[in-house]
Amino acid sequence: MQKFTLHKGLTAPMDRANVDTDAIIPKQFLKSIYKTGFGQHLFDEWRYKDPGYYGKPESERQINPDFVLNQSRYKGASVLLARKNFGCGSSREHAPWAIDQYGFRCVIAPSFADIFFNNCFKNGLLPIVLPEATVAQLFDESAAFPGYSLTIDLERQVIVKGQGQEIPFEVNAFRKYCLLNGLDDIGLTLRYKEKIAAYEAERLATKPWLAHTAVGA
């Protein structure tokens, strides 16, 4: 998993409340057995005017010029501003995969759906909860100033605006540790790979029939 320490990025305002995971990554794109390739289908039904399906070339699609991510001023944005209850709906982990693979490293909102919120941390995406009034101000500033960027300093737990003003945010200490070190659930387990190998070797030496049982299973 990619580490998250200090990130500066262009912001894009998703000015909709209750954005659910089916809007983030529609169900027809969940057929892939791989964990890659979802970024191109992020907010698919809003980014395009015609229906999409897995395997349909982007060149054959009708782009919706009014959708925020299709506007040139937000091209390359990596910080997403959102409204309350972002990521509600089904618990599909594909939603943070799609957001991350599109290029976003951080989502800022007044509130998130619980499962989506936890899935973000497990996939290297930082969800930040701020008061609704603070988020509204960020929306206003993003709309008013083209090229509006924010710096997210996870170590210090602050968002830094262009003029140096800082907005503090809270993050669980364990989740912070995982992001700073790029550790997902597998990475956390592999920290103990030497102890795991030693245990397995000892078990095989004292109970060799277990290996025979496993092979024949």
CATH number of the domain within which 91 lies: 3.20.19.10
Range of the domain at 40: 6-183
- If asked whether residues 208 and 153 sit together in one domain, one would say no
My answer on whether 128 and 191 are in the same domain is no
> Is residue 172 domain-shared with residue 215, that is, in the same domain?
no
Domain count across the chain: 2
Model pTM score: 0.88
Q: Are residues 119 and 166 in the same domain?
A: yes
Residues 19 and 42: their CA atoms lie apart, in Å, by 12
Asked, for residue 86, whether it belongs to a domain, the answer is yes
Mean pLDDT by 10 residues, the chain (217 residues): 95 97 94 86 94 79 94 97 97 95 98 97 96 98 96 98 95 96 85 82 80 55
Residue 1 falls inside a structural domain = no
pLDDT in tens, 123-145: 999 999 999 999 999 999 999 99
- 112 and 158: one domain? yes
